[in-house]
């Protein structure tokens, strides 16, 4: 059961965050209030939320998910693939060490963004993307196997991260869209297809019985509710301008 989450306040420099979109820079004040509402939603799901201060050295530092993978057995500090993000891990290390006895790291030449890691049931899928290379994925698989866990790679074509276009709920229910609709790796799952114009809603989180989804995707919401999941939507439009989704804004454990 998930009991805690780590978040980091957006910094002023968020206006310079990396993006592939043409939606313009986020509005700092709006990002702050959306982030506060996101944090409240995590609390309302029963989590104790550890709030880290803004870090002006790293425009993308509010996307804490990418710098670590927190498993029941150990924590793995990643080595983010974007040069401007690689050193975000340094500030996160003491925080993770406070909560985990076993802390592993991904080393060069490995690159790994944890936004590329999807836990589906008991297995970790690792997207090979512009941010995660084979060396990073192989290091992770070998760490997981030392702790009795499993992982395998999935090649990505167009999306930034694996979880940009898919998500896992429970009991084999997997949300898929775009390039993920015909991946042989995912045929064992009950695939729930989202319309391509609402693909961003596949990045959602099931926390203690509630699915947190981004606001503004009415079809996706209906589809998930029709599967019997209670849904809470959160407006994260400022983070979507810089390629952020629901999962990116927290580390859960």
Q: What amino acid positions are annotated as catalytic residues?
A: 161, 248
Positions touching ligand CIR (CB under 6 A) are 17-19, 60, 63, 65-66, 82, 85, 115, 161, 163-164, 242-245, 247-248
Q: How far is CA 70 from the centre of its chain?
A: 11
For ligand CIR, which is the closer residue by CB, 15 or 227?
15
Give CA–CA dist 139/111, Å, rounded: 10
53, two tokens: 């201060």
CB of 129 vs ligand CIR, minimal distance in Å = 10
Give CA–CA dist 189/215, Å, rounded: 26
- Measuring CA to CA, how many Å separate 19 from each of 42, 49, 164, 177, 188? 25, 27, 13, 20, 33
For ligand CIR, which is the closer residue by CB, 143 or 160?
160
- Return the percent helix, strand and coil in the chain, to nearest 5: 35, 25, 40
CB of 226 vs ligand CIR, minimal distance in Å = 26
For ligand CIR, which is the closer residue by CB, 112 or 144?
112
CB of 239 vs ligand CIR, minimal distance in Å = 8
Asked whether the beta carbons of 60 and 16 are under 8 A apart, the reply is no
**Which stretches within the chain are classed as H helix?**
28-44, 88-99, 134-146, 218-226, 237-240
CB of 166 vs ligand CIR, minimal distance in Å = 12
For ligand CIR, which is the closer residue by CB, 8 or 163?
163
Q: State which residue has the least CB distance to ligand CIR.
A: 115
CB of 66 vs ligand CIR, minimal distance in Å = 5
For ligand CIR, which is the closer residue by CB, 179 or 227?
179
Q: 39-53 burial by CB neighbour count: b if 16+ within 10 A, else e?
A: bebbeebebebbeee
Phi, psi of 246 (to 5 degrees): -60, -45
């Amino acid at each position: 059961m998930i009991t805690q989450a780590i978040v980091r306040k957006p910094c002023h420099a968020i206006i310079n965050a990396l993006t592939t979109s043409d939606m313009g820079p986020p509005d700092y004040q709006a990002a702050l209030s959306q982030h506060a509402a996101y944090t409240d939603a995590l609390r309302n799901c029963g989590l104790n939320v550890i709030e880290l201060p803004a870090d002006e050295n790293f425009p993308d530092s509010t996307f804490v998910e990418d710098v670590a993978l927190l498993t029941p057995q150990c924590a793995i500090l990643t080595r983010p693939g974007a040069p401007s993000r690689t050193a975000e891990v340094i500030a996160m290390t003491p925080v993770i060490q406070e909560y985990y006895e076993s802390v592993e790291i991904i080393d060069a030449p490995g690159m790994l963004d944890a936004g590329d890691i999807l836990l589906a049931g008991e297995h970790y899928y690792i997207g090979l993307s512009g941010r995660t290379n084979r060396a990073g994925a192989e290091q992770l698989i070998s760490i997981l196997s030392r702790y009795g866990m499993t992982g395998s790679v999935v090649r990505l074509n167009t999306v930034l991260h694996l979880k940009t276009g898919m998500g896992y709920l429970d009991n084999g229910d997997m949300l898929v869209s775009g390039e993920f609709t015909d991946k042989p790796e995912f045929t064992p799952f009950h695939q729930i297809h989202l319309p391509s114009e609402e693909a961003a809603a596949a990045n959602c989180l099931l926390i203690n019985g509630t699915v947190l989804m981004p606001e503004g995707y009415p079809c996706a919401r209906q589809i998930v509710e029709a599967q019997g999941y209670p849904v809470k939507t959160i407006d994260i439009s400022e983070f979507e301008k810089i390629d952020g989704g629901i999962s990116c804004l927290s580390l859960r454990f």
